[in-house]
Amino acid sequence: MAGEELDLLLSGKGWPVPEEYDAGPPPPLQPARLRRNTCYVVMAVLLNEKNEVLVMQEAKLECHGTWYLPAGRMEPGETIVEAMQREVKEETGLQCQPLTLLAVEERGTAWLRFIFLARPTGGTLKTLQDADEESLQARWWDRKSPTLPLRARDIVPFMDLALQYQAKPCHPLTLPAELPCAVICQRLLAVFTDSSGAPWVLLGAARSPHLPVVVSGMSPPALGGGLLVATYQLLQECLPPPGGQVQVRGLLGLQHLGKEPGQSDGICFNIVVTIGDAGQCSKEKPPELQSKAFRWWKVEEEDVRSRVLQRLSTSSFVPLHS
């Protein structure tokens, strides 16, 4: 079971979120409620054949006349991709097709931003004659001339990342898997690599063996904490002190559907972490676990093993910015 789950996640697909979780706040769990206890923001970087970036001019009073990437808040009932496509159409006039997630930003469970690389597929570029409350106009920009006043410079690294990805992709094309989830949670691919180079994966031992799933708290005190607080707590409880070095490597993907507002607004992040000191490990086995609720699985199936090691060696993951 765990082998099939891992195979699908490595392929950029999803796996159903279980009804029972391996760690998180005590029940009853509070579901994620878009626009009530959490906010999802989408952003898109579109490039043309000249590697110019699609930007839009803000109409909002507080940033009127400045320029930004097409972006905005998700609405209840949308998928993440649908929200991105809607924002691009409203703010620039263009239709688009997502190519891949470029990055995810988090400020705890209260605010999450999903940045896409996308390509235009139709529509007409918005001009000043089309100005409305969404935007004044849109244009392709080479980032040099003319000098545009930006609403904020936080978009610059994502423009850079899009150009880098187009020149040399740093991870496979990755889009959200459309699977429902009621809470904001993380499914962990926690890997220890032994002295022979073999990967060992942490599994939840309750029920059938599976990759552990931890739930983030949605209570007001928890909302401002980092998204990965529950992940670090689980690993702290599992691993012997000092627990070795735990490094978050990035995302294999994420899962969201959102078609039942209030019941499926949650997101499952499929996160990769490595356990152990950097460099060549001198240990033949992973550290002994402190909880019987978990166990180690030595990955011996050659195809899955080589794919895990290849992704780790090349850091081939969607970046998660905290």
pLDDT in tens, 123-177: 999 999 999 999 999 999 999 989 999 999 999 999 999 999 999 999 999 999 9
- pLDDT given for residue 226 in this prediction: 85
pLDDT in tens, 208-218: 999 999 999 87
pLDDT in tens, 230-248: 999 999 989 987 656 899 9
From the list 302, 110, 75, 287, the residue with the least C-alpha distance to 202 is 287
* Mean pLDDT for the chain overall: 93
